[in-house]
Amino acid sequence: MAGNLRFRTLKDSAGFELMAQDMGRFFQSRGVLAHPWVLTLVAALRYGANSVEIDGAVHTVDHDIDLRLVIPNNMTFPALMEDLEDFLWNAGHWVKAFPCGLPKVGQHNPALLFFGTPTAAGWMQATNLMPHVLSLRTAKSAPMLAPVVGFMAQILGLILAPIWALVVDVDFHVEWAEPGSAALGADPSRSVLWAGHRWPFPRFGAEVFRARFTDYVGSLPHGDQKVKKKLLGFCDFYRPRSPPSWREDLSESAAANATAHFCGSALRSEGYFSFWELCSDSSKVPEEGAHWPEDVRAQKKPQDWCGTPKLLPELQNLTQFLARVKHASASSEPSSEQL
């Protein structure tokens, strides 16, 4: 609390935070650079968490989780995802990997679905993003029906939210580098707080992140094509703006600005990198001249290793996952001899 301002960062569910920690340990053991990305990185750099409560209202920065992976180019990505799924299952987490991306959904990024306790991100997907996307798609073919579809989707989202919130979508943004490349290493002087744990920060500058972020958000089905004009520099992410620079963000207010300032300052005092470090003093100039490492290959899409995603094989994979859940549930029940 500061003056009349009441705010607090909200932890993700304990189950998700444990899964995120185990996922980070897995990638580190394989020599893969893994760190929060796009909106998830904004959450880490602004608040150190995906959700924040300001004066009693909960704000969730992102409707899913985005991680950037830089992988040695001698690795096979589908095999890496299979090993990740097995590793997390053995650690007690219910997950399902989709190395070819979720069929007919989003940008077809490789993904990992986590099934556990309710999260704010899952609730936001059901009650906010899903109705908005359905309304946008309807507007393209039947503009007159878009408001009705949006309203009905909001009702459906509220009905589905208690179940939908149990699922978290982790999207992977995959890039490759030569083994031993500096691009596989983290910035030795910077790390970020996310999901209750310390994560590496990559070796690139502020302006690079702005450029990659605006390219990504502008390409989303629900994205804003004008985002590049709204976010002209790294420090435009520091505090919310009016109108919001992307759909999930807050509108600018004294409380929102103060929360970003206090959270960023607290992160810095605890040894984490944040927007506050570069942007709280307007006399400082961020690293606008930094560039993307030349030895990082351009991002690939799942089609590069899977072909065009097909619905039937992924449904078969989901059936296998449900059988695995059933087996895990049965093996965890006490036998009659134990009762």
State the pairing for strand pair 197-202/186-194: antiparallel
Q: Contact, 61 vs 42, CB < 8 A?
A: yes
Q: Contact, 263 vs 269, CB < 8 A?
A: no
Distance of alpha carbon 100 from alpha carbon 107, whole angstroms? 11
Which of 80-94, 104-118, 189-203, 216-230 is predicted with the least confidence, judged by mean pLDDT?
Answer: 216-230
Q: Where are the domains of the chain?
A: 7-117+166-328, 118-165
Question: Which is more confident, 28 or 208?
Answer: 28
Residue (of 225, 171, 181) closest to 202 by Cα position:
181
Distance of alpha carbon 42 from alpha carbon 260, whole angstroms? 11
Model confidence pLDDT, tens digit, residues 121-152 = 777 777 776 776 677 678 777 888 888 887 88
Which range in 26-30, 198-202, 327-331 is most confidently predicted, on average pLDDT?
26-30
Handedness of CA 249, 137, 152, 122 (dihedral sign): negative
Q: What is this structure's pTM? A: 0.77
Mean local confidence (pLDDT), 36-56:
87
Whose tokens are 């999207």? That residue is 171
Model confidence pLDDT, tens digit, residues 255-310 = 888 888 889 899 999 999 998 888 877 555 455 444 444 455 555 555 555 654 44
